Structure 1
C-alpha cells in the first residue's frame, strides 16, 4: 500500500510538472526602472521568470522584434537609441521538451540625449598669438545646465562654468589643441551628449606684404593700385598709412587694395598697410614700407588693348600688346587677379607671340589688372580689364584722358542689338544724362569729371562700372618757369658781355681822343706857322654814346674822326683894340669803318658832341677848319 501511494504521489508530481511545462504557468517580464521615457546611456534591466518556480530549472530565450538575441533570465545594458524595440521572453523546462510559454511584449522607447554644439569665435583658423578666442557650448533643449569643457584626449574637464562660453583671452602656443563640451545637471536627462570637436590652431602674428600694381615711378595722371597681401585665414579689414605709421593717419577702405585713381606729385612717398579683425580689433604687424615715386616722363612701353576699351563681353577675343617708341623686345604681358594673383600670359590664360598676348575666348575670370613688364623689372602703366556676362557694357577709354580733351562714352550691347538705343549714363551712381543715341560726350574734360561711370538700357540692363582718370598738365608750369629762367639767364649773360664790350670800347675811344689831342698839341707850332690854329687840349671834352647796342667790339674799336663841322654859332665881335675875336664851335662826328657788302653805318655823337675853340688868325684874317 505504501509503495502504491508513493507511486501515485510521484505520478501526480510529474503530471503537475508536465502541466507546467505545457503552459499552465505563464512567465512574467519586468523592466527596471519602469519609466515611460528612457534616455540613451541609462541602465535598463529586463527580467524573465515564472512565479513560484526555481529559476535554475528553466531555460530562457529573449526575443526582440521577433529575433532571438539573448539566453539568460535577465538583460542589463546601457541602452541606446537604436534599441528602441518590442521585447519578450520565452521559458523552457530543462527536464522535458515542453515549455511554459512566452511573456507579453514590452515596448521600450529610448530618447537621445540633448545635443551639445560647440562653436568658436572667431570662426577662422588659424588664430594668432595674442588674439582672443571664445568657445560657445549650445544645448537646444532643457535647462539648468552646467557646462563642462574638455581639451585634447583627456576625459577630465579642464574647466566648468554656469555660462555656456569659455574664453581664451590671449592665445598662445600651448592653447593649440582640440576642444569639446557637454552639459550636466541634477535632473533627467542628467547630461547632454558630447559636442563636436573643434581644432584650434595658433600661429605667430602675421605681417602682410605690400605691393604695387607696377614697378618703377608712377606717371602723373595715371592710376596706381597698392595691394596688401595676407594669405592666412580670413575676416581681415585693411588699414593704410602714408608717410608715418600712425593710427591717426590711417585710411580705412577695408579692402586689400588701395587705388590712387590719378597720381599727383603729392602722392609720392612711403606707404604701409596692416590688417585687423574682431572686436576689440586685433591688428597684424605693419607691412614693410613701399616707396611710390612719381614722374611726368612716360614709360618707354605702353599696354595697347584691342578692342580699345576697358569692358568686354565674355566669349569675345582680346589682344594685349606691349608697344612703345623704342624696341619692345623682352617685354611681357602680366596681370593680377584675385584668384591667380600675379601671373604671366604664358602661364595658361593666353597665348604669346612676341610682345603680344592673345585671349581667344574671354571669361569673367579674366577680369583683373594688366600691364607690360621688362626683364629688368621696368613696367608700363596698368590697365583695368573687366569681363562680364551682362548684355551691356560701357565703351570707355583704356588710358587716362588729358585735361581739356573731349570724351565720348558708348553703351554697347550683345547681338542682336536693340532697336531702341536710349541709354542712361551714370557717374558715381548718380544719373548724368539720358541719350537716345546711346552715347554721351563731354566736350572738354576737367579733373572734376573723374569717377566711376556706367550705362543702363531699359531692356538690356546695366553695364559694369569703369573708372575714368583725367591727367592734368601739372608739370607744364614748372617747365615754363625753367624755360623762362634759362632765357633770362642767357639774356643777362649777353647784356654782361655787351656791357663789357661797351666799357672796353669807351676806354679805347678816350685813349684815341687823348692821343689826337696830344698830336694836335705837338703840331700846334707848325700849324701856327702855316696859318692853322691848333685845338687846345684844355678846351676839349669827349663824351661818346653807343647808339646801336650789340655792335661787335671789333667794329666799335675801329672808329676815326671823320670831320669837324663848323658850327654857325658866332659870338659878337668886340673892338679889335680890346682883343675881342670871333669864336667858332666845331662838331666832331664819329664814323664806323666800312664793311664789305654792307651799307656804311654812322654813329653820330649827339649829346656828347665835342666842341673845340678855334682862335682867329689875326695875320690872315680868316677862320680855318680842322680837316
Structure 2
C-alpha cells in the first residue's frame, strides 16, 4: 500500500444472526498500524445513522439488530481512516411464545373474568410488547403481558411478542389457546332427605356440574322469616337441623362470578319423639287440695330446647318453658301435653296420651 493512501477500517462480526436477548461481538481494526481509537455507527431502515458511545478499544458487544460501520482515529488533531464496509446484524426469535390462562379452569362461563398471559420463554433481559389475536379481532401492541378479559364467546386466542427495540422483528404467533365459553350454569341442591326428626340433621349438597373452583353460598327462609344467608358451607356441603326452604349458589374467581341460584328444597321437621305425662307423687288417689307436679316428658329430646303446652279438664295453657307444672288438685279428669322446639320453624308434637287424674273429696282425719 502506498504510504500516501488513507487506510480503511475493517469490521468483523462473530455472527450476523443472533437470538433476541443475546449479544454478538463486533471488532474494528486498521491493519498494520498502531495507536488507533475507534468510532462506531449504527442505523436502521427507519433510524438515521448515529454514533455509539462505546468501543474505543476496537471491540463492542451489541444486542440490537441494525447496520453497523466503524472507523479509526489517531493523533491530535484526529486523523480518520476510511469507514469500514457495513455489517448487517439480524435479530432472530428462537424464543417460544405460549399463552396461559388464569384461572386455568377448562370450562369458562359467559361473563367470567379471566387473565390471559403471553409467556416468552427465555426472555431474560428483554423488554417485550405484546399483541393478541382473538376470535373477533386483533389488538394493538401493548406493554403488559397480562390481558384480562370478560369471557363472551368460544374460540382461539394467540399472541406474539416484539422487543421494545423497534429494530427487532416480532415472534411468530403462539399456538392458540382454545377457550370454551358456556352459558351461566345453575347450581344444583340435593338433600339426603327432605324430612327429618327434630334434633336430627340432614346433609345438603350444592354443586355446579362439570366445572371446578367453586365456593358455595346458602340461603334459608320460612313462611315468616325473609330469606337470609347462612354463614357456613363454602365447601358445598352443610348439615342442617332446622326446617325451612333452602337455596344455594356457587361463586368463583375475583371479582366473584355467580352461578344461577338452585331450585328450592323444602326441609320438613317431623316429631317422631313420643311425649308422655308423668305425675309426682305418683299416688293413684289424689285428694282435693293436694299439690302435685305433672311433667311433660319428650323421649329422645337430646340437644333440643322445648316449650310445653297443657290441656286440662277445664282449659288449655299457653306455651311455657318449664316441662314441670305444679298444680293444686281440684277436679278429676284427663291431663295431656304437647311440645314444640323453641325454633319456631318446627311444628309441635302431637298431644300425649292423657294422664287420668282421680281427685277425691278432702281427706278427713278422725281424732279419738
TM-score in terms of structure 2 length: 0.49
Whose strand fraction is larger, Structure 1's or Structure 2's? 2
TM-score in terms of structure 1 length: 0.30
Whichever of the two has the greater Rg, that structure is 1
Whose helix fraction is larger, Structure 1's or Structure 2's? 1
